[in-house]
Amino acid sequence: MPYPPRARKNGLPVTTPRVHIATDHAGMELSAHLVGHLTAKGYEVVDHGPKEYDALDDYPSFCINAGLAVVADQKAGVHALGIVLGGSGNGEQIAANKVNGVRAALAWNLSTAKLAREHNDANVVAVGGRQHTVEEATELIEAFLQEPFSNDERHVRRIGKIAVYETTGEIVE
């Protein structure tokens, strides 16, 4: 889905995406930091929870709701991306990927954060709050949010094959 050109101003795309964020208890501190940090940088951030710390929380609902919101925004023509956070980011990525239309990628370094967008057009990034400092995690998130999809034919073709399977169950060779 094409969005307006990705012109840059102060290092940020002029058309910044709406950002949907969700976490579990292990990512709450990082989530609170990111909400403030990204809002200050001009992003519209929608926090899908949780709203208070609970060591026994169940993250799937938060991450699924963030994924649903990203997909709904994109279907409506709104440039939107998502962030899901946890201790490792793995469970949160898995939960988000259960939403039809979500392509969530676990980022653990700058290369994986950028390639998730550039090659896979990932629309949700997962980061482990216990795996990185707040500064490192912020750098990963910013890299993900700022990296455009390449629109390279081979990547478009591969993503299309994934979408066909997701919607029809057919495996395209």
Q: How many CB atoms lie within 10 A of CB 91?
A: 19
173, 45 contact by CB (below 8 A): no
- Beta-carbon contacts of residue 118 (< 8 Å; ≥ 6 apart): 147, 148, 149, 150
Choice among 25, 48, 92, 132 that is catalytic: 92
Gap between the Cα atoms of 106 and 115, Å rounded: 11
User: How far is C-alpha 127 from the geometric centre of its chain's CA atoms?
Assistant: 9
Catalytic residue among 33, 119, 136, 155: 119
Residues 6+ apart with CB under 8 A from 161: 172
136 is an active site residue: no
Catalytic residue flag (residue 52):
no
Catalytic residue list = 92, 119
